Structure 1
Amino acid sequence: MRRRRPSPNDGVPPDDNPTQIFELEEPYDDLYDEEIEGDYGDDDDYGYDEYDGYDDEAGDGERDDAARRDRDRGGLDEEFDEDGFASDDDRAEPAYLPDERDDEEDDTRRGGRGRRMLKWLAALLLLAVLGAGAFFGARELLGFGYEDYEGSGEQDVLLHVEQGDVTGAIAAKLAELDVVASAEAFVKAGEDDKRVLGIQPGYYQVKTKMSGEAAVQALVDEKSRVGHVQIRAGTKLFDVTQPDDSVTPGIFTLLEQASCVRLNGEEKCVSADELRETADTEDLGELGVPEWAVEKAEQAPKGRKLEGLIAPGVYDVKPGGEAKDLLSQVLTASATRMEAAGLPDSAEAYDPYETLVIASIIELESVKTDFEKVSSVIHNRLEIDMPLQMDSTVNYPLKRPTLTTKSKERDKTTPWNTYAMTGLPETPIGSPSLEAIEAALKPADTDYVYFVKCEENGLSCFNVDYQEHTAARDDARERGVY
């Protein structure tokens, strides 16, 4: 039975880095190889382990020789027991040679610590991002985390809501004006109020430092809207007193009313007189009058230069501003509306300004259903150089117009009296609608040269023959139409 020889490493903990094997010096290698070959024969038949024991069947001499070789190889000075093995007490401690890979592993460990540090930093950053996302998400769901004022506000300010502004854009403007403490305060307060979605473009009088709820209530209240004006078709620049003594405000008066606002106890307005004076003295092109209308509008009598050039419709003007800015805002918008109706591009028989004059007469002489037929009468009379003889043109300069004019009024020469002259009046006689402009551009194809109101709903009877015309007129009078 072969007995295992104790190893010097018995009892020593395993090393993660195995000891490096060094080549021995040449003289020892020769001796070693010679002795091994002499004693043990071929390497292929026996394996050699420097820590394995020797064959027990070998003789004592061989064991002595092996022990001697061990002492020569390791430089060991040991005592052996009777069997030829070194005792445990006297065995030398194992010697470990330095490994060059230790330095490399130190660097690797330092690199590993660096990578671990980067991983920790990345993890902390991810946690921060997730935490921020959770906070903002909770704020959106639960409605906390934004600033909000308390109360109904302090100082008056104006908010301008423009076309296309959504709730978020309105909220941002409110926050910029310090009306609300934050845009979120307004948005959150308006989430359950569908009226917020119906806020129209225009100017609104609000206060600084309002709560989000108070700001919402202010903007959905029609009383908060300022600078809002509606100009109806046929309205003139100046006021008109009706037969029943009621006064129909003219465009200058309507714009004055829209411009008025009381901010922090101070009333601010642009008067009708300021507007008229500005129209008479400023360059019309700079005010916003279309290029095609500037020349003839400049030649109009004082106070009438802008007649017909302010189109009907709804306007939002900045309250408390300057007269020039207000007129420019309105005229620029009007030019766009008239362009949509076909001016100046579609004007053919007459120039754009003359077409505007024709449209103003159509507007005041008939109802919409008859626009194209009345237009045909005007065109037909102009073509044969026949006076238009329209009562609306005689009434234009009068402060108290009537449906049927008196003979003394028809005999009076004015730039607008179409009984006393042929051709078109010098200026439009009111503000024509887009439909009236379209009818002036495209009259009905008729031979009519007469018409008279013959129905209570405003419809007219049209004729080519004068006798038929007078018969229709007399019939309408008898029926009390007018």
Structure 2
Amino acid sequence: MTDDLGLFTDTSSDDAGSGGGDDAPSRRRGGKRRRLTTIAFVVAGLLIIGGGGWYAMSLFGGLGGYEDYEGSGEQDVVVKVEQGDLLAKIGSRLNQQGVVASVKAFTRAADKNSKASAVQAGYYVLKTKMSGEAAVARLVDPKSRVGSFEVRGGQQLDDTTDNAGKIYEGIFTKISKASCATLNGKDTCVPADQLKATAEQTDPSALGVPSWAVPNVARAEPRRRLEGLIVPGTYDVRPGSDAEELLREVLRSSALRLQAAGMPDNTADTGFSPYEILVMASLIEREAITKDFGKISRVIYNRLAVNHKLEFDSTVNYLLYKQHITTDGNARSDPSPYNTYVSKGLPPTPISAPSKQAIEAAVKPEAGKWFYFVACEKDGTSCFSETYPEQQENERRARANGVY
């Protein structure tokens, strides 16, 4: 009889099946050798599986030994929590960086702290040789998180101001502030001017600029070459990194977000290059609120189709680092290629950080014959028209509503 694995067989069945011939003993011996070989392979496999299981369990705290440091630690160290990390994975990384003595020391302490399971992805300042309890307490303390900043739609690389003189932080300033931490008594801040210089002087590909954008970026004015390539979202950078490392981490994260928004594949049927779509999306972002994005996009398409100047105040204000809604005659006379009251076509680069919604609008504009628009309501809503007399009426409505 045979067991489920076929390891143990009743030898009488071999004798019965041999027919009593002269070679029956040989067959029986061969059967025994095969059974012994099978057993050997199975045992070896079990040892391998068991060894792998022991390793995995040790890694995630199941069978590994329990060791723990005492106290709140010694030297500052920056630790990264990745998106989707389980507590055992975090503990393993802390153990590898010398923060905790063992994975179990961390996971056991984490099991006792309800906040531990809600730790977000990002960078945290902890210390080497911390007790598991101290490491968990430090990790769940919001003050321990460093390197995080947010980019919003329509923001520029550089700081801007409004009519009242209020300063709005640009993306370079945000990255600079996020780079700041005090590690073992040393300040890690990278000044915004250093980030700007690095952006101007470093090869775009080395910084993580998407390949489809590199040719245009390489031709752009150095101080504006990265405009529009850092899209809205929350970013994490490691304090202690130099300017190039900081920009590379941000640009590579942004490139993934652009890819998630469909770039560059979704631009194939638009008649424009991926970079031109990015430029267009940045104009849409600065010219309107989200609900009007599709119509603004159509105005751009309609004007470009007949080689008419775009005449957007946002492109003029981009050069002035201003947040105004309108511009005056002097500003509109500037011969810069960014001045769409003078120059036809799209500006050489984006003028702001375009959101996913703005990119979608640039790819798929709403159907319509609109050629003009103006912000006519205080909530930012625009009024659209096909003829200039209709536009003039909408402008009167905007003034009556106190929009400008």
Instruction: Identify the TM-score tier after normalising by the shorter chain.
Output: 0.7 to 0.9
Matched with 2:309 is: 387
One-letter code of the match for 1:360? S
Asked if residue 399 in structure 1 is aligned to residue 399 in structure 2, the reply is no
Q: State the alpha-carbon separation in 2 of the partners of residues 403 and 445 from structure 1.
A: 26
Asked if residue 318 in structure 1 is aligned to residue 238 in structure 2, the reply is yes
The offset of 1:234, in angstroms, is 1.0
Q: State the alpha-carbon separation in 2 of the partners of residues 415 and 260 from structure 1.
A: 36
Matched with 1:194 is: 114
Matched with 1:180 is: 100
Q: State the alpha-carbon separation in 2 of the partners of residues 203 and 314 from structure 1.
A: 13
One-letter code of the match for 1:369? K
The offset of 1:150, in angstroms, is 2.5
Match of 1:265 among 185, 201, 215: 185
Whether the 8 Å contact between 1:233 and 1:433 is mirrored in structure 2 is yes
The offset of 1:274, in angstroms, is 2.0
The offset of 1:146, in angstroms, is 2.7
The offset of 1:396, in angstroms, is 0.1
Match of 1:165 among 85, 91, 99: 85
Whether the 8 Å contact between 2:204 and 2:218 is mirrored in structure 1 is yes
Match of 2:366 among 444, 466, 469: 444
RMSD, aligned α-carbons: 2.0
Greater C-alpha radius of gyration = 1
The offset of 1:245, in angstroms, is 2.2
Matched with 1:299 is: 219
Match of 1:463 among 385, 391, 396: 385
| Residues 96-142 of structure 1, C-alpha deviations (whole Å, 9 max, x = no match) | xxxxxxxxxxxxxxxxxxxxxxxxxxxxxxxxxxxxxxxx9xxx99x
Match of 1:249 among 155, 158, 169: 169
Matched with 1:207 is: 127
The offset of 1:388, in angstroms, is 0.6
One-letter code of the match for 2:362? A
The offset of 1:149, in angstroms, is 2.3
Asked if residue 336 in structure 1 is aligned to residue 256 in structure 2, the reply is yes
Instruction: Give SS of 1:396's match.
Output: helix
Whether the 8 Å contact between 2:212 and 2:275 is mirrored in structure 1 is yes
Q: State the alpha-carbon separation in 2 of the partners of residues 177 and 280 from structure 1.
A: 35
Larger relative contact order (C-alpha < 8 A, sep ≥ 6)? 2
Q: State the alpha-carbon separation in 2 of the partners of residues 271 and 164 from structure 1.
A: 32
Whether the 8 Å contact between 1:269 and 1:321 is mirrored in structure 2 is no
Matched with 1:217 is: 137
Match of 1:229 among 143, 149, 161: 149
Match of 2:337 among 402, 415, 430: 415
The offset of 1:368, in angstroms, is 0.6
Q: State the alpha-carbon separation in 2 of the partners of residues 245 and 293 from structure 1.
A: 34
Q: State the alpha-carbon separation in 2 of the partners of residues 333 and 265 from structure 1.
A: 30
Matched with 2:278 is: 356
Q: State the alpha-carbon separation in 1 of the partners of residues 271 and 261 from structure 2.
A: 16
Moved over 4 A (4+): none
One-letter code of the match for 1:456? K
Asked if residue 453 in structure 1 is aligned to residue 375 in structure 2, the reply is yes
Asked if residue 154 in structure 1 is aligned to residue 70 in structure 2, the reply is no
One-letter code of the match for 1:468? E
| Residues 379-419 of structure 1, C-alpha deviations (whole Å, 9 max, x = no match) | 10110111111100000011334221111001111121000
Paired-residue identity, %: 50
Unpaired segments of 5 or more residues in structure 2? Answer: 1-56
Matched with 1:472 is: 394
Match of 2:353 among 431, 453, 460: 431
Instruction: Give SS of 1:397's match.
Output: helix
Instruction: Give SS of 2:100's match.
Output: coil
The offset of 1:448, in angstroms, is 0.2
One-letter code of the match for 1:251? I
Whether the 8 Å contact between 2:378 and 2:401 is mirrored in structure 1 is no
Asked if residue 308 in structure 1 is aligned to residue 225 in structure 2, the reply is no
| Residues 60-96 of structure 1, C-alpha deviations (whole Å, 9 max, x = no match) | xxxxxxxxxxxxxxxxxxxxxxxxxxxxxxxxxxxxx
Whether the 8 Å contact between 1:205 and 1:225 is mirrored in structure 2 is yes
Whether the 8 Å contact between 2:201 and 2:222 is mirrored in structure 1 is no
Q: State the alpha-carbon separation in 2 of the partners of residues 415 and 302 from structure 1.
A: 15
Instruction: Give SS of 2:224's match.
Output: coil
The offset of 1:248, in angstroms, is 1.1
Q: State the alpha-carbon separation in 1 of the partners of residues 100 and 91 from structure 2.
A: 8
Matched with 2:33 is: none
Give the paired residue count.
Answer: 343
The offset of 1:151, in angstroms, is 2.2
Instruction: Give SS of 2:217's match.
Output: helix
Q: State the alpha-carbon separation in 2 of the partners of residues 328 and 270 from structure 1.
A: 14
The offset of 1:279, in angstroms, is 1.7
Whether the 8 Å contact between 2:204 and 2:214 is mirrored in structure 1 is yes
Matched with 2:247 is: 327
Matches within 5 A, 1:132-143: none
The offset of 1:289, in angstroms, is 0.9
